């Protein structure tokens, strides 16, 4: 067999595992791309192939690392407290939040220390982690025997006849993803007691394989807590629960309940602004890509109009500098997500003069010609707030001449706290990526591959320009609609299936396909015309030309 390993040709006499081809004592490499497919280091090479070894600077590897850390943590809990259950959710500061139930009492510092010590012991022992295939009936029987009914329920929606199970020193579990070869690979992690459970931090690819500093984001944490309460209330915290709603014929009710929650949040927001309208002059909306900012901002405008408040909407996109003035990214290309890509002085001047009661000509930026034109001068009333939307809306550098107490800042993002099962939370960023992929195809003429290819750059911009300021928000709007992946599946799956196997984006496309296949389909015909999800699938009342 002829193997090309990181560009070097090797010849081997018989099939072997990837990890047997090189010295990896320092555990630098944790997975591999084999003929453009993501593979574990324990993967047995069947024929000639091209191998690229991957480390923690690769996002697929950090997912594997995180899955293995969750596996070892669940194993530790099982070893110490056989009747307890551990639950994982994504949380603040790019971490995993773990809670333990079934202890017979509240989670205590003593329990945390015992779990931490057991995790350390398991890692120190460097137990091998092996993968086995079970038939669906065998997996069902095993999970029932250990009381893991959350895993039993999701097996019903698995299309394949088999399921993979990972075994480590007698412990068996499946984390819906690949794993590291052994527990000893987990050399970097941090555990922090964080009531009512604990926080797990792990290396991140956007931090070049390092663990980011933990920042306790109180505003964001409160929103996640509310999202978790909502998921329990709506009985939609897992894919199996959502699918059961669809199968029971209650999909329409499910849609209406989720939409009612958005309406309630908008009402709460409108009330909060109305209470302080004598003071508020600038309402700023910001959030990461595909959060639904445009539809949301329109709905805020309608909500405020219903309260007798007539905001002036201004898009920050109209304040871009000429493209030749934009800062450059690491590849030398114009970085339009950089705050200095905007004409900050012009924006501040326009907002200040409007608030002072002057007549002001507003700019409109033509993205085709890269030029700016100005409207006829307009004037606003003394109690008329300005409503702006843009990724930099929470940044302190926006409109510095307006005092902070005259600004009302809103952070919007889908903060879904649902999961595949107790041990496998669903990534919030994956929800946004699927939204963006569908929207780009529907309305921007952008193919799935291009969306996938640019996602890493989009995410880097978010970490730089959005997340550091989310704690400045006066209000967090959770734009997640629990039913949405059941709807988006119909749009997304065909796009993902078209990504060729030799594409650099095939690994991501394949991962998303495996994830989406578990959802039952909900038709989009029942979705209200003003729903935020219409921004991505079409037929939104805010984007129609028929205004009569």
Instruction: Return the residue matching tokens 């302190």.
Output: 396
pLDDT score at 546: 46
Question: Residue 545 pLDDT more than 80?
Answer: no
Q: Is the pLDDT of residue 259 over 60?
A: yes
Residue 213, in any domain of the structure: no
pLDDT in tens, 389-406: 988 999 999 999 999 999
Helix extents (H) in 181-217: none
Distance in angstroms between the alpha carbons of the first and the last residue of the chain: 70
Mean pLDDT computed over 111-126: 98
Over residues 182-232, the pLDDT tens digits come to 999 999 999 999 999 999 999 999 999 999 999 888 888 888 889 888 988
- Alpha carbon 263 to its chain centroid, in Å, reads 23
Token pair belonging to 148: 């893991």
User: What is the average per-residue pLDDT within 277-305?
Assistant: 95
Instruction: For residue 318, give both structure tokens.
Output: 């109209």
Query: Are residues 331 and 480 located together in one domain of the fold?
Result: yes
- Statement to judge: residues 247 and 269 lie in one domain: yes
Contact 268, 370 (CB under 8 A): no
Q: Is residue 170 part of a domain?
A: yes
Share of the chain above pLDDT 70, in %: 99
Burial class (CB in 10 A: 0-12, 13-18, 19+), 173: buried
pLDDT band of residue 544 (cuts 50, 70, 90) is low
| Of the residues 151, 184, 207, the one at which a domain ends | 207
How do 31-34 and 8-11 pair as beta strands?
A: unpaired
Give the pLDDT of residue 540.
Answer: 94
CA distances from 7 to 2, 10, 16, 18 (A): 12, 10, 18, 15
Report yes or no on 406 lying in a domain. yes
Same domain, 450 and 517: yes
Of residues 54, 6, 3, the one with CA closest to residue 31: 54
Please say which residue of 161, 187, 207 terminates a domain.
207
- CA distance to 107, 149, 193, 415, 452, per residue, from 104 (Å): 9, 20, 19, 30, 46
**How does pLDDT run across 298-341, given as a tens digit for each residue?**
999 999 999 999 999 998 989 998 888 888 887 788 888 899 99
> Which pLDDT band holds residue 372 (cuts at 50, 70, 90)?
confident
Average pLDDT of span 3-30: 92
Same domain, 10 and 85: no
pLDDT at 127 over 80: yes
User: 454-463 in b/e burial notation, b at 16+ Cβ within 10 A?
Assistant: ebeebbebbe
Render pLDDT for 472-503 as a digit per residue (tens, 0 to 9). Answer: 999 999 999 999 999 999 999 999 999 999 99
Q: Are residues 402 and 387 in the same domain?
A: yes
**CATH number of residue 47's parent domain:** 3.10.20.30
Q: 194 and 46 in one domain?
A: no
Number of structural domains found in the chain? 3
Q: Which of 356-360, 375-379, 460-464 has the highest mean pLDDT?
A: 356-360
Residue 547 is predicted with a pLDDT of: 44
- Are residues 347 and 439 located together in one domain of the fold? yes
Tell me if 502 is assigned to some domain.
yes
User: Which helix (H) or strand (E) element contains residue 400?
Assistant: none
Identify how many contiguous H helices and E strands the chain contains and give both numbers: 14, 21
Q: Looking at residue 548, what is its pLDDT? A: 42
Residue 212 covered by a domain:
no
Task: Kindly report the average pLDDT of the chain as a whole number.
Answer: 93
Q: Select from 161, 184, 207 the last residue of a domain.
A: 207
Q: Are residues 320 and 173 in the same domain?
A: no
Q: Are residues 444 and 357 in the same domain?
A: yes
Residue 473 maps to a domain: yes
Look at 31-35, 66-70, 120-124, 332-336 and tell me which has the smallest mean pLDDT: 332-336
233-237, 310-314, 541-545: least confidently modelled range: 541-545
What does the block give as tokens for 6? 């990181």
Instruction: Answer yes or no: is 548 within a domain.
Output: no
Residues 50 and 121 in one domain: no
Q: How far apart are CA 502 and CA 214, in angstroms?
A: 38
Q: What is the mean pLDDT of residues 517-527?
A: 95
SS3 state at 117: helix
181: domain CATH number? 3.30.980.10
**φ, ψ of residue 521 in degrees (nearest 5):** -85, 140
Q: Are 297 and 479 in contact (CB under 8 A)?
A: no
Domain limits for position 86: 60-207
54-58, 112-116, 173-177, 299-303: least confident range: 173-177
Q: Are residues 182 and 51 in the same domain?
A: no
Q: Are 439 and 167 in contact (CB under 8 A)?
A: no
The predicted model gives 427-440 an average pLDDT of 95
What CATH number corresponds to the domain at position 412? 3.40.50.300
Give the pLDDT mean for 23-45: 94
SS (H, E, C) 484-499: HHHHHHHHHHHHHHCC
Is the pLDDT at 239 greater than 50? The verdict is: yes
Report the pLDDT value the prediction gives residue 232, as an integer from 0 to 100. 87
Would you state the structure tokens that stand for residue 54, as one six-digit string?
């991957």
C-alpha 13/C-alpha 28 separation (Å) is 26
pLDDT at 440: 94
Shared domain check, 488 and 467: yes
Among candidate residues 403, 396, 177, 158, the one with its CA nearest the CA of residue 286: 396
Number of other CB atoms surrounding residue 209 within 10 Å: 18
Alpha helices in 81-155 (DSSP H): 109-125, 136-145, 149-155
| pLDDT attached to residue 222 | 87
Asked whether residue 369 is domain-assigned, the answer is yes
The secondary structure of residue 82, as a DSSP letter, is T
């Amino acid at each position: 067999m002829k193997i090309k390993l990181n560009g070097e040709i090797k010849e081997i006499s018989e099939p072997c595992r990837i990890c047997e081809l090189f010295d990896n004592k320092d555990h630098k490499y944790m997975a591999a791309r084999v003929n453009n497919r993501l593979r574990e280091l324990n993967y047995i090479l069947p024929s000639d192939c091209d191998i690229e070894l991957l480390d923690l600077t690769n996002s697929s590897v950090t997912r594997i690392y995180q899955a293995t850390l969750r596996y070892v943590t669940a194993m530790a809990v099982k070893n110490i407290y056989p009747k307890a259950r551990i639950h994982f959710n994504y949380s603040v500061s790019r971490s995993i939040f773990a809670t333990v139930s079934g202890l017979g009492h509240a989670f205590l510092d003593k329990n945390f220390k015992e779990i931490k010590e057991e995790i350390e012991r398991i890692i120190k022992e460097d137990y091998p982690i092996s993968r086995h295939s079970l038939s669906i009936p065998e997996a069902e029987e095993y999970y029932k025997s250990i009381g893991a009914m959350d895993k039993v329920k999701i097996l019903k929606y698995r299309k394949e006849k088999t399921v993979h199970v990972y075994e480590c020193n007698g412990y068996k579990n499946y984390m819906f993803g690949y794993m590291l070869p052994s527990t000893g690979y987990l050399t970097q992690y941090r555990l922090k007691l964080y009531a009512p459970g604990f926080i797990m931090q792990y290396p991140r690819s956007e931090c070049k394989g390092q663990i980011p500093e933990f920042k306790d984001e109180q505003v964001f944490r409160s929103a996640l807590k509310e999202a978790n309460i909502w998921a329990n209330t709506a009985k939609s915290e897992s894919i199996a629960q959502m699918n059961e709603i669809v199968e029971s014929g209650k999909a329409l009710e499910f849609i209406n309940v989720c939409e009612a929650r958005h309406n309630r949040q908008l009402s709460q927001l409108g009330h909060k602004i109305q209470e302080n309208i004598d003071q508020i002059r600038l309402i700023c909306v910001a959030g990461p890509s595909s959060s639904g900012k445009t539809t949301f901002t329109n709905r805020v405008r309608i909500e405020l109009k219903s309260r007798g408040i007539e905001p002036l909407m201004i898009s920050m996109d109209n304040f871009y500098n000429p493209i030749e003035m934009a800062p450059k990214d690491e590849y030398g290309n114009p970085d339009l997500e950089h705050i200095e890509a905007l004409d900050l002085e012009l924006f501040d001047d326009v907002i200040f003069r409007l608030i002072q009661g002057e007549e002001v000509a507003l700019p409109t930026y033509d993205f085709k010609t890269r030029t700016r034109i100005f409207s006829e001068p307009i004037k606003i009333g003394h109690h008329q707030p300005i409503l702006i939307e843009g990724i930099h809306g929470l940044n302190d550098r926006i409109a510095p001449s307006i005092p902070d107490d005259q600004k009302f800042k809103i952070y919007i993002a889908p903060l879904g706290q649902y999961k595949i099962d107790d041990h496998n939370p669903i990534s919030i960023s994956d929800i946004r990526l699927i939204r963006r992929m569908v929207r780009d195809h529907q309305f921007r003429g952008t193919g799935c591959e291009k969306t996938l290819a640019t996602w890493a750059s989009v995410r880097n911009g978010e970490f730089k320009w959005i997340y550091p300021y989310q704690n400045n928000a006066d209000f967090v709007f959770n734009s997640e609609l629990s039913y949405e992946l059941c709807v988006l599946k119909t749009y997304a799956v065909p796009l993902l299936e078209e990504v060729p196997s030799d594409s650099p984006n095939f690994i991501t496309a394949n991962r998303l396909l495996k994830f989406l296949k578990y959802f039952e389909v909900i038709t989009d015909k029942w979705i209200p015309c003003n729903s935020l999800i219409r921004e991505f699938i079409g037929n939104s009342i805010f984007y129609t030309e028929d205004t009569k």
